[in-house]
Structure 1
Amino acid sequence: MITMQQNMRWYGPHDGIRLRDIRQCGVTGVVTALHQIPVGEVWSVDDIQERQRMIVEEGMEWTVVESLPVHEDIKRQGGDYQQYISNYKKSLEHLAECGLKVVAYNFMPILDWVRTDHAFVNPDGTKALLFDEIAFIFFDVFLLKRRGAESDYSKDKVEEASEYGKTLSKDQKDQLFKNVLLGLPGSDESFTPEKILELLDAYKGIDDQTLRSNLVHFLSEVAPVAERVGIKLAIHPDDPPFSVLGLPRVVSTEEDLAQILSEVPVNANGLCYCTGSLGAHPDNNLSRIIDTHGDRIHFLHLRNVKREDGKRFRESEHLYGDNPMEEIIEKLLLLMDKNGAALPMRPDHGFLHSLEGAEKYPGYSLIGRLKGLAEIRGVELGLAHKLKI
């Protein structure tokens, strides 16, 4: 019986959740990255091996790199982007030398992910992540004051956002600003509206077509290297899977995925199949993605979402939401059985339970992820027995 390779994400030595805590969840694999190395610099063999040593000493292995980040110059194809691509290749070679097999990354401009509320309170008192378009419009138009932002939204929605803003205190407005920018790499820094607007200016004139072309250029250079050294690249879908701050998006829909995979047709160029990010787009058929691109799925993020009116969604329990998780897990089991190999998986995000109090990384509390892992394990084992595989 081939089941998914179970992992937990760890942010490194400064993570409030320790490796020992993760080991006690029953997993044998850790998903992590060298967050201390500035984006664009080469990851050395010594640094990679030091991280491996920490994990092995706790009885686990480093199974997936998440993420080896892509420098903004590569996304914009400006500045020293060719040097950064060269550095990326060297890092891949060093990771392969150390035995790593899967590298996740994303191609989202500036913001890696966006939520407007990191502490949405569920009926049982647990807290979840939520994206609300109206709150985001208020941030964009009235707090950030991005030039031309109003033209990206309907007049009715801008008026609704304005009224929404009138209900917020100064502290609530400050919290909204911080919430949105938490997905900005290096967001422990104090980012001012002026700094964010400066970053956005660097993307003027770059539309979806240009960003897609830049992604294909990047992949045409790095994917052959990954193929040669035995590494699978897994691109993470856009989160959320639609434009924010007027920025282009090219990994949001089934059509986007098909184009990325067909433009660079080597197996190393593959997907991080994130049911949460893909599931936030109502037009994506998650089961069909497995049917169509199963052999190019290299890494799994399993979680669920509940879509509400318009572009508003909240992260729900792992098994209950708009994503058909039982059907998805069954298809993944059949895919792994056909290929004769387990796919690495981690339970992506989870509710914050009151026992844990505040934590640094929203969505990455231990109890919530452990609950999700246990639920996914149960469904997986039950289906495996039913399918007799």
Structure 2
Amino acid sequence: MKQTWRWFGPKDLVSIDDVAQAGATGIVTALHHIPTGDVWSKEEIAERQRVIAHMKDGRPSGLAWDVVESLPVSEDIKKQTGNWRTHIANYRESLGNLADAGIEVICYNFMPILDWTRTDLAWRLPNGGTCMRFDLTDFAAFDLHILERPGAAEEYDKALKDAAGKRFAEMDDAHRSQLLRNLVFGLPGAAENFSLEDVRTHLAEYAAISEDQLRANLVTFLEEVVPTAEKLGLRLCCHPDDPPVPLLGLPRIMSTEAHYKAVMDAVNSPASGITLCSGSLGARPDNDLPGMMERLGDRVHFLHLRNVKRESDEIFGSFYEAEHLGGDTDMVALVEAVLHEEARRKAAGRTDWSLPFRPDHGQDILDDLGRSAQPGYPSIGRLKGLAELRGIIAALSPRITAET
């Protein structure tokens, strides 16, 4: 398993030096400054590779850009409106430029509007650390009483609506404004400047798009770009919905094993695969992560290993970002399934047998609390997670190697 680390570029408060000291051997990044739908030029890609390869003092970092996360899919492509055909052509050109640079794994998502959703970006833990949290009552209070989305009341039961009304009444203006900022943080590049009207406008654009239509649009996108990926030797991998449930009336099409299987069957190519995110998928109690790895592992090209603690047994419920070994996903069983898949690939002679993974998210602890890095991406919290995952790998690898 290849140990990688997500890095948000030169403005990231967790530096390349920090990543090298954490012991990761590869970088997961993206050209976030390039507008969605535009081409990633060879020059921009090469510049990012150059920066990754060096520490602050100019010495070699020993790191390379291994995985793209994400080459974003535009809202026009997702809705098949506006400049979607031009954006697909640009996407293919970007794939070619990435392949020329030697980068083979491309993560993307097909979530409408929001890349992820949390109600609290720094929820205090009993030990004094903080983590991200999704509180269903807070979310319903926002949906019903702040956003005032038409039809929202029909999507919640009476108990939740009553609780949301009480929660909203208890909020002062500062709390309500903070909740809006937290929820729109998952809008790419929009955390500081999206208003309620902006959110309402975006939602209205999806009003006529059903789950089946959005899935058909994803299949169309893949039919357009997967042949290019095959020709270039690239592996595309779709990230699941986060959280993996319908939100704000938006359709969700990558939330369960059945969702993934439907898309993989529709475009049946090794170049079209899965980013298996144990945190996103693990927020649903009916998702069996070790089993998904066993059954879908042939098409898994990238792994996000993190854990969440669910606060109920409901499909749609509250949860928070737990320690990597402390949540509801059996991380030992999941890593074991990954190692078995790697052994199968190696025995079959596959060149992609070593799967890249990253310690996704992490709790803010120790010096992280004063660093104010990207929410969910602290330095020490992820280092702790990576160390725990390394321990699992080191403990299981000898036995699995002996069995094969």
- The answer to whether the aligner puts 1:13 opposite 2:13 as a matched pair is no
- The answer to whether the aligner puts 1:382 opposite 2:395 as a matched pair is yes
- The answer to whether the aligner puts 1:336 opposite 2:339 as a matched pair is no
Q: How is 1:310-321 mapped onto 2 (pairs within 5 angstroms)?
A: 310=314, 311-321=317-327
**What's the CA shift for 1:354?**
3.9
Partner of 1:47: 44
- The answer to whether the aligner puts 1:299 opposite 2:302 as a matched pair is yes
Distance change in 2, residues 1:8/1:313 (3 Å): same
**What's the CA shift for 1:355?**
2.1
**What's the CA shift for 1:358?**
4.9
Q: 1-side partners of 2:42 and 2:356: how far apart?
A: 23
TM-score (normalizing by structure 1): 0.97
Given the alignment, which residue of 134, 159, 163 partners 2:162?
159
**What's the CA shift for 1:16?**
1.0
Q: Which whole-Å deviations, capped at 9, do the CAs of 1:253-278 have from their partners, x for residues lacking one? A: 11101001000000010000100011
Q: 1-side partners of 2:297 and 2:367: how far apart?
A: 39
Q: 2:77 is aligned with what amino acid? A: I
More relative contact order, 1 or 2 (CA 8 Å, 6+ apart) = 1
Q: 1-side partners of 2:118 and 2:283: how far apart?
A: 12
Q: How is 1:1-389 mapped onto 2 (pairs within 5 angstroms)?
A: 4-57=1-54, 58-309=61-312, 310=314, 311-340=317-346, 341-356=353-368, 357-389=370-402
Q: 2-side partners of 1:147 and 1:31: how far apart?
A: 39
Q: 2-side partners of 1:317 and 1:353: how far apart?
A: 11
**What's the CA shift for 1:170?**
1.8
Q: 1-side partners of 2:250 and 2:276: how far apart?
A: 22
Q: 2-side partners of 1:235 and 1:216: how far apart?
A: 12
Q: 2-side partners of 1:360 and 1:29: how far apart?
A: 20
Q: 2-side partners of 1:332 and 1:302: how far apart?
A: 11
Q: Which whole-Å deviations, capped at 9, do the CAs of 1:169-219 have from their partners, x for residues lacking one? A: 221111111111100011244111111111111111101000000000000
2:236–2:301 Cα contact (<8 Å) kept: yes
Q: 1:178 is aligned with what amino acid? A: R
1:278–1:286 Cα contact (<8 Å) kept: yes
**What's the CA shift for 1:119?**
1.4
2:235–2:272 Cα contact (<8 Å) kept: yes
Q: 1-side partners of 2:88 and 2:192: how far apart?
A: 26
SS in 1 for 2:39: coil
TM-score (normalizing by structure 2): 0.94
Q: Which whole-Å deviations, capped at 9, do the CAs of 1:125-170 have from their partners, x for residues lacking one? A: 1111111111101111111112222122123311210101122222
Q: Which whole-Å deviations, capped at 9, do the CAs of 1:333-362 have from their partners, x for residues lacking one? A: 111111122100100000001422251411
SS in 2 for 1:314: strand
Q: 1-side partners of 2:192 and 2:154: how far apart?
A: 30
1:125–1:354 Cα contact (<8 Å) kept: no
SS in 2 for 1:185: coil
